[in-house]
Chains A and B, each alone.
Chain A
Amino acid sequence: MSEAAQATGLVKVFGSTRAVDGLDLSVPHGSFYGIAGPNGAGKSTAIRMLVGLLQPDAGSASIDGTDVWPDPLQAKAVLGYVPDNPVLFDRLSGQEMLEYAGLLRGMDREVIRQRSQELLRVLDLEGASDKMIADYSLGMTKRIGLAVALLHSPRLLVLDEPFGSLDPVNTQVMEEMLQRYRTGGGTVVFSSHVMDVVERLCDRVAVIEAGRLRAEGTVAELAGGRSLQEAFIDLVGGRDLEDGELSWLSSSSS
């Protein structure tokens, strides 16, 4: 049986920078899969190639057994994607954006209407459903982005830094939604720097550094008896300040 998502030897080069350098990933069906890595490790680039938004220079990606490239339309039909900063038609209201997404995917109008209302209610956006997305806060934009990605009930949900800019209540709601989605047979892939979230939610974790897979396994395997945060720092290397560095910060500036 094919994996929910698979990447083999993915490469992306921007100028002289190899953002992703031969990345292999294998995401099992029904899993909660975390992609961790330091800033600039290539997580977002890898995800964009996986979801059909950025063509790789080399390697292949597949979703549910369907090759993403060269024609990503079929793969996009079965996945939902929420980028770090959701890109939406910000001059549509939240409700209109959901309807637009449903129509674009050829869904039945009654289904669009019912699911939109339910998603807006669950994500606490009902009161702002007729407000333009341009007037939403970042947290609200993130939630409407999630709603848009979930509307067509995808088999795979890919989220880039989903919990940033969410308050604790909405973080809990989103976590519950994702767990429920996974229980229903869906697969979740998300990238995050926040190790305690990864530790709490994920079955498996891939750690990427400098565009390459540094480690992959279950959370317990990677943690090896420590916290995931400690294991992550051991893997990618921590940075301590030298004695005396930035000492001027300890006194008030003049």
Chain B
Amino acid sequence: MAVVLVQLKLAIQRRSLGHNGGGQRALYVAGWVLALTLGLGAGGVVDQMTSQRTGLGDLTLVILLTVLFVGWVVIPVILPGVGDDTVDPEKLEQFPISARDQVLGLLLGSLIAPTALFTFLAVAGGTFASGETVPARIAVAMAAVIFTVLCVASSRAVQALLAGAMRSRRGRDLMIGLSGALALSIYLLSRSAHNVDQILVDLENEPVEAVLSWLPPGAIGQGMIAVRDGHWGTALVHLLVTLAAIVVALAAWAWVIRKRVVGPKGGAGRVKKKSGMSTNLALVPVLLESMPTSAVTAAASQQLRYLFFRQPRAVQSVVILPIMGAVVAHQMVSDAGLVGGAVVITTMCLPATAMYLFSYDDQGFTYILSAGAPPRQVLLGKVLAALIIVLPLMVVFVVVEAVLTTRWDEAFAALLAGLNVALAGVGVGAMTSVMAPQNRVHPGGNMRRGIAGGLAGTALLLVVVGLLVLAWMLTGDSLGAPLPMLATLPVSALLGWLLLRRAGGRLAADPWRFERALMGT
């Protein structure tokens, strides 16, 4: 049965590639080539670490494997569409396949992926460490296989648990909070890791290695070290820790599959009901109540509802990126002043709010088409929603930083700088949303293209922001003077408007092509 599921995954993948044309196929091949190249590179690093035969080298190896494992578990949780969802387990429920067989089949299928190849090659690098015996080399190769299985099994189990929890409103809220906190913790940790060498030296004096080497991913690293040193008994004990973790991950995955038949308890996803006496519409947020009745108001209201509290993935992005932005921007203020901080936080808020304007609509976009709504107005409404989020965040940041640093003299220039970036940035976001649609609710065959487009859009945004900052630096005495920002404001607004107009025109010219790309049909 497991083989049948693997064949199913490969068949779906093959069909998807055939359906989406040569570009998709090229990206697919590039993914494998990249995984091979990076895997060999990472394998070289592991080889070096193992060959060093020093405490620092051993510690680095254990930490490296732990970080690799954490990446496997966390990235699919934080980034929608990154996980392997070629075969939807829900569609297997109608067949007489036991949870165990489903798990084994899906696990085997997930092992045939560029990410798994990268992981295997990275760890297998230890096979080539100098001075190893042949049995040790064989054992390390086996450890690489076991580590890859651990990563894939844990990642899929966490994704399954997450999907299970997301079935109820309470679970969704909890998972959003947890994954957000997780992403933020990793980010804050990485921010503190300015000097990796020093940190490793510091950690060597701490019981970090002792702790990590008994956790499943680190245990593999410690096992490899023990094999190298000829301590086969120790290696076996560490290996057993990892194997036990694999069993637990697979059991958790199977449990989620079995539990799905029971169904969620409660949590019907209710929203607060407005008073029957109110003449206001429940859909329209207070902020937009004074806007005239139009497709712009409808789209802005829907977008705000979706970005907050409705689509868990949207909430995640909209909350995490601004928090990260605030941290970076706060650190920037001491060097680049309030203007630098305002530019950074605005830039970091834009990808989550303005670059994936239709990504959470899913089939709702088809409704927009069937209702005959003018696509330009719908796009404008969604851009308006992005500005409604980004601008207040930027203003609050500037005011708080001005209070904390008493740089009130830079506040006006910072607000103007943030406004410049926001106005130009939403134009870039609109173009990106239309040119590279990405369905984040049901990621389909065009996900890779959407991700590539998103990266291109982010690069374009950075170029625009870079040019603005350069212009301010060339025309003003310092970044704290508001005049250059005031001068570029019409240019930024015009650029944003032109890009928005172009994006709207493209969308209106052939909304059906956009719909096909968004829905992956």
Residues of B within 8 A of A130 (CB): 270-273, 282
Per the CB 8 Å criterion, the residue count for chain B at the interface is 40
Residues of A within 8 A of B371 (CB): 76, 101, 104-105
Answer whether residue B281 sits at the interface, using C-beta atoms and an 8 A cutoff.
Answer: yes
Residues on A with beta carbons closer than 8 Å to the beta carbon of B512 = 54-55
Shortest beta-carbon distance, B292 to chain A, in Å?
9
Contact of A99 among B272, B281, B364 (CB under 8 A): B281
Please tell me if A180 contacts chain B, counting CB pairs below 8 Å.
no
Contacts of B280 in A (CB 8 A): 109
Taken residue by residue from 364 to 382, chain B's Cβ proximity to chain A (1 for < 8 Å, 0 otherwise) reads as 1011111111100010000
Partner of A87, one of B293, B311, B363: B363
Q: A51 contacts the other chain (Cβ, under 8 Å)?
A: yes
Residues of B with C-beta under 8 A to A122: none
Provide the residues of chain A in CB contact with B369, threshold 8 Å.
53
Query: A54 to chain B: which residues have CB within 8 Å?
Result: 512
Interchain nearest-CB distance for B370 vs A (Å):
5
Whether A88 lies near B363 (C-beta < 8 A) is yes
CB contact between B370 and one of A87, A107, A110, A112 (< 8 Å): that residue:
A87
Contact partners of B366 in chain A: CB under 8 A: 53, 87
A89 near B364: Cβ-Cβ < 8 Å:
yes
Q: Assess whether A104 is in contact with B281, with CB atoms less than 8 Å apart.
A: no
Which of B61-69, B102-110, B298-306, B402-410 contacts its partner? B298-306
B370 engages A100 (CB within 8 Å): no
Within 8 A of B (CB), among A30-49: none
Determine if A106 and B273 form an interchain contact, defined as CB atoms under 8 angstroms apart: no
Q: Are B311 and A76 in contact (CB under 8 A)?
A: no
Using CB atoms, name the residue of chain A closest to B295.
A104
Q: Interface code A98-121, partner B: CB below 8 Å = 1, 0 otherwise?
A: 011111111111101100000000
Residue from B298, B361, B372, B373 having most chain A Cβ neighbours under 10 A = B372
B195 at the interface (CB under 8 A from A): no
Is residue B449 contacting chain A, with contact meaning CB distance below 8 A?
no
Residues of B within 8 A of A211 (CB): none
7 A-B residue pairs with CB within 8 Å: A53-B370, A72-B372, A91-B311, A104-B298, A108-B293, A130-B270, A132-B268
Q: Which residues of chain B have a CB within 8 Å of any CB of chain A?
A: 268-273, 279-284, 293-295, 297-299, 301-302, 305-306, 310-311, 360-364, 366-374, 378, 512
Give A contacts to B, CB under 8 Å. 51-55, 72-77, 81, 83, 87-93, 95-96, 99-110, 112-113, 129-132, 134-135, 148
A-B pairs, top 6 by smallest CB distance, nearest first, are A76-B372, A103-B298, A89-B364, A91-B310, A99-B283, A87-B363
